[in-house]
Amino acid sequence: MTFEGLNLIEPILKALKTEGYTEPTPIQAQSIPIVLEHHDLLGCAQTGTGKTAAFAIPILQLLNADPLPERGPRPIRALILTPTRELAIQIGESFQAYGRHTNLRAQVIFGGVSQKSQTDALRNGVDILIATPGRLIDLINQKYVHLKSLKMFVLDEADRMLDMGFIHDVRRVITQLPTKRQTLFFSATMPPEIQKLADTILKDPIKVAVTPVASTAEIIDQSVYFVEKKDKKALLIDMLNDRAIRSALVFARTKHGANKIVKDLVGAGIPAEAIHGNKSQNARQAALQGFKTGRLRVLVATDIAARGIDIDALSHVFNYELPNIPETYVHRIGRTGRAGASGVAISFCDSEERPYLRDIQKLIGKNIPVVTLHPYHSEGEVVHAAVAQKSKSQQTGQKRYRDEPSRSNTGFSPNGASRQSKNRFRSTTRSTTNTSSGKR
Ligand code: AMP
């Protein structure tokens, strides 16, 4: 499959060439024709599958062919609603990139920054608006945003909207939209409330799914370390002292926890920064930028702050604390192994977190390999004494972190060195299903 085979117009093909995209990802190959034929779409796909281009490319193509009104400023004809500013910025950049040879204008709006530049742009006319829910509602209320001419609506990461408590705002936005429109709905998971929302806002949608929700990419090398809470700090420091870990995103459950990890790491001479909701927008952007450019090797994040982090070079994800919602595990480790590259996901699990691990393994349908050969291994309280004995003897020898000595792709191998080209997607390892194309 090629982009040419998808009947895309020359200005878009040219832009994709500049981006270095040689072939569509599975979600793109399936979604683009559906959207170009004006159908509603229900896309089950998570970030990292190329879903942004799956909606951005056909939106650009359809709007490019859609005549503008003869008088007045350009009306907003496409709205993309997404949960976080980071995602909004990335989607905005994607529209800029793929639409660079069209005359279409895309604008991003999100909260936490002055609205002045956003409202200036809106006054000049915008074809495609990419927004987070709160700021969008503010600007609708202030009459800067008019949606009566809207033709296409994208709800991005619907399940995250629910997790983050935005579902009420999303419903409010939907009441503002013309009923005659094309709607594209994307969600990595389909909990009942999201399914209900999809049922109410989509008309005869065609469903496209890449990778079953619960699966975790096979190219991500997952492992779990049983370690008591008090030893997690020392284990993380030991592991991050391995320079083969080029870039690590460390997940904490709370903002306080994230700050504490940063303090511990910095205290041990490992530069690290935290991103979470208490940090200013500027501080978050600076940390993220530092991480993207490689200046900063270790970033510590809470789940909400990490949404939408799009870093192709991310080699390691650490779950310092396991999430209590199993889907969050899938989202977290999906930050690595992006765009066809390999990645390593390491989880620390203390005795209280064992039930979370069980839930995660149930969801992903497999057991995560346990690494026992490390100095802080703990089987839990019952066998604690025996393990303490074992750990002591291990500490005397050379530190080993794997239970499979011959395995080369360890959490400590210079994984990044073998990273594949950005254009190699997981189409060979991931299952792609078009569950209801028969409905077309
Ligand atoms: P997304 O799932 O939209 O966040 O995209 C994940 C990453 O894949 C982004 O960095 C995109 O720039 C990249 N990407 C999207 N489509 C393609 C493609 N067809 N070929 C190569 N890279 C792509």
- Per-residue model confidence as pLDDT tens for the chain (440 residues): 899 999 999 999 999 999 888 889 889 999 999 999 999 999 998 777 789 999 999 999 999 999 888 888 899 999 999 999 889 999 999 999 999 999 999 999 999 899 999 999 999 999 999 999 999 999 999 999 999 999 999 999 998 898 888 999 999 999 999 999 999 999 988 888 899 999 999 999 999 988 644 455 556 889 999 999 999 999 999 999 988 888 899 999 888 999 999 999 999 999 999 987 677 777 877 888 888 888 899 999 988 777 656 666 678 999 999 998 888 888 788 777 655 556 899 999 999 999 999 999 888 878 999 999 898 998 764 333 333 333 333 333 333 333 333 333 333 222 333 323 333 232 222 223 333 333 32
pLDDT at position 332: 84
User: Cβ(233) to ligand 1 under 6 A?
Assistant: no
CA of 52 to the centre of ligand 1 (A): 7
Residue nearest atom 13 of ligand 1, based on CA coordinates: 50
CB atoms within 10 A of CB 383: 11
Are 47 and 334 in contact by the 8 Å Cβ rule? The answer is yes
Are 338 and 314 in contact by the 8 Å Cβ rule? The answer is yes
C-alpha span between 195 and 192 (Å, rounded): 5
pLDDT at position 380: 60
pLDDT at position 203: 97
Most informative mutation of 82, 90, 422, 427 for ligand 1 (most atoms within 8 A of CB): 422
CATH of domain 214-439: 3.40.50.300
* Alpha-carbon distance values, 171 to 137, 308, 395 (Å): 11, 22, 56
pLDDT at position 341: 55
Hey, do 4-210 and 214-439 end up sharing a CATH topology, with the first three levels equal? yes
Please report the beta strands in 218-315, taking only residues with DSSP state E, as ranges in sequence order: 220-226, 248-251, 272-275, 298-301
C-alpha span between 294 and 248 (Å, rounded): 11
Kindly list the domain boundaries of the chain, sorted by start residue: 4-210, 214-439
Residue nearest atom 6 of ligand 1, based on CA coordinates: 48
Long-range contacts of 255-262 (CB under 8 A, 24+ apart): 255/302, 257/302, 257/320, 257/321, 258/300, 258/301, 258/302, 261/233, 261/236, 261/300, 261/320, 262/300
Q: Regarding the domain delimited by 4-210, which CATH topology (the fold level of the hierarchy) does it fall under?
A: Rossmann fold (3.40.50)
pLDDT at position 217: 56
pLDDT at position 393: 37
pTM over 0.85: no
pLDDT at position 194: 92
User: Cβ(308) to ligand 1 under 6 A?
Assistant: no
Would you give the end-to-end CA distance of the chain in angstroms? 21
Atom number of ligand 1 nearest to Cα 97: 12
Q: Look up residue 275 and give its DSSP letter.
A: E
